[in-house]
Structure 1
Amino acid sequence: MSRSNLLGTLLFLGFIVLSNSVYVISETQRGVLLKFGEVVKSDLEPGLHFKTPFVNSVRKFDGRILTVDSTPERFFTQEQKQLIVDSYAKFRVVDTAKYYTATSGEEFRAAALLSQRINDDLRNQVAGRTVQEVVSGERDQLMEAVKARLNETVLAELGIEVIDVRVKKIDLPNEVSQSVYRRMNAEREKEARELRSEGKEIAEGMRAEADRKVTVIEAEAVRDAEIIRGDGDATATRIYADSFNRDPEFYAFTRSLNAYQQTFSTGSDIMLLQPDSQFFQYLRDPKAGK
């Protein structure tokens, strides 16, 4: 073998040895150093590190906050009513040695184990509460209790810390939903009928009050009109009386002429009168009134 070939081979072998001796842990990663599969150093710091080639190996994990989305499960409440709860959790790796030992560094296996524990704790928490408490009344307390309970076990068993547990959705089973919806619909229809009945009652009261006011206004108007008419008639009578008292003879003569006009305008040619009737007194004697 020539000297140049030997040098090239040595350089190649040196590059292989060097590449297997150096590794980098980034800021978003956590890692463990293994020796023939056994953990010899955990919680490796971010940066450049060295290891023994072909003896040591490195396993890197995601050091950021991860999400596990649990499968919706059916739980029973304190009243033995069924609820379908869909939840998720946020977690991160804090003990790389335990995490690797429990899950072989597989994120999906850690998520599966954590999801199972979440559902178990949710089942226990829901079983001790009513539907109202689970849905709204004590929902936050339930989540805090589940998170605290998980951190008591998963940190020691899986080497992870649960940051938060949340319920995405709480549903009733399909066989229960329809009856609940029908009951809710019946309650809403009953409430609507009561509101319509109250509205009609109020409308009738308002209509009756309006009719009463119209009747009162019309009665007052008729009363005022009669008073005005009476005052007018009294005024007219007073004027007639004053005029009559000024010249009674002229007033009597005028009344007689009006009587002649009304009598002869009917077209009747027959009149039955006594000979001494006062009707024609001014025709017999123009000075009859004096």
Structure 2
Amino acid sequence: MNKSTYLLPIVVIVIAGLLSSIFIVDERQKALVLQFGRVVSVKEDPGLAFKIPLVQEVVTYDDRILSIDVGPIEVTPADDRRLVVDAFARFRIADVVQFRQAVGNGGEVVAGQRLDRILTAETREVLGTVSSKDILSTDRAALMLRIRNAAIAEARALGLEVVDVRLKATDLPPQNLEATFERMRAEREREATDERARGNEAAQRVRAQADRTVVELVSEARREAEITRGEADAERNAIFADAFGADPEFFEFYRSLNAYRAALQSGNSTMVLSPDSDFFNYFKDVQGR
């Protein structure tokens, strides 16, 4: 058996050992080199790195900014009006050694669970010091900043850095929705009733003003009509007086004709008078002629 027969397995073993001692650190990751479970080195720069085969192992963690959904969280603000809040947070692994010591083999899953508990507690504590109006307002960036700052210290113990915390949605609990809707409906009905009452009051004022204006206009028109009628009657009487003074007999004849016209209308007219009545004096004169 020649030497090449012995060298080939040795070369294969050397090459396999060399390859198993090389690992690649991705630019999106951080790596820990563990020896019997103990951290011996940290690889944060991307590229090739080395480890001892069979003795050391490599554990990688995501170096990017991660996100976690928190909620729904039921909070009780200072005005005792319960709310249900949905939030999310963004974080990154800042210290991989401390992160490994805090979560062990659980990795990012266990870290997310513990961070969820931290954010839930801090959200309840911060939102419990303000009113529901402040939480529901559009200007709530200060509240989110307070929650983030309060969570930073506790998250640092896990080797995490909390980058941001946002409140996604804020709603009433289902059991409170109907009562809230009823209260809102009652408030709107009360406002509508007040508006109708004010409208009716304004309408009555306008109607009373219009009625008074009508009465005043009619009274003024009647007054002017009476004045005009009186002036006409005075002028007529003056004309009659002048006519009577000029020719009394003609004036009597004219008055008799007007009386005949008023008494003897068209159709059948029956009059019962004494034979010596003065009403038909001018008829008597015509008959006498």
Q: TM-score, normalised by structure 2?
A: 0.74
Query: Which letter does structure 2 place at the counterpart of 1:85?
Result: V
Matches within 5 A, 1:1-290: 10=11, 14=15, 17-18=18-19, 20-26=21-27, 28-42=28-42, 44-46=44-46, 48-52=47-51, 54=53, 55-78=55-78, 82-103=82-103, 104=105, 106-136=107-137, 139-155=140-156, 157-240=157-240, 250-258=250-258, 266-268=269-271, 271-273=274-276, 279-280=281-282, 283=285
Per the alignment, do residues 71 and 218 of structure 1 end up closer, same or farther by CA in structure 2, a change over 3 Å counting? same
Is contact 1:87–1:168 with CA below 8 Å preserved after alignment?
A: yes
Instruction: Give 3-state SS (helix, strand or coil) of 2:48's partner.
Output: strand
Distance 1:210 1:79 in 2: 51
Alpha-carbon distance, 1:44 to partner: 0.7
Alpha-carbon distance, 1:81 to partner: 5.9
Distance 1:135 1:189 in 2: 24
Is contact 1:253–1:282 with CA below 8 Å preserved after alignment?
A: no
Per the alignment, do residues 279 and 263 of structure 1 end up closer, same or farther by CA in structure 2, a change over 3 Å counting? farther
Distance 1:116 1:128 in 2: 19
Instruction: Give 3-state SS (helix, strand or coil) of 1:71's partner.
Output: strand
Alpha-carbon distance, 1:51 to partner: 1.0
Alpha-carbon distance, 1:119 to partner: 1.5
Distance 1:53 1:45 in 2: 19
1:152-192 CA deviation, whole Å, 9 max, x = no partner? 2212x111111122233344444444444444443433333
Distance 1:95 1:197 in 2: 69
Q: Which moved more, 1:207-216 or 1:223-232?
A: 223-232
Distance 1:200 1:264 in 2: 58
1:87-113 CA deviation, whole Å, 9 max, x = no partner? 221212222222233234722211111
Structure 1 residue runs without a partner (length 5+): none
- Provide the aligned length of Structure 1 versus Structure 2: 282
Structure 2 residue runs without a partner (length 5+): none
Per the alignment, do residues 29 and 126 of structure 1 end up closer, same or farther by CA in structure 2, a change over 3 Å counting? same
Distance 2:32 2:244 in 1: 136
Alpha-carbon distance, 1:246 to partner: 5.9
Is contact 1:32–1:58 with CA below 8 Å preserved after alignment?
A: yes
Q: Percent identity?
A: 33
Distance 2:58 2:205 in 1: 87
Is contact 2:29–2:62 with CA below 8 Å preserved after alignment?
A: yes
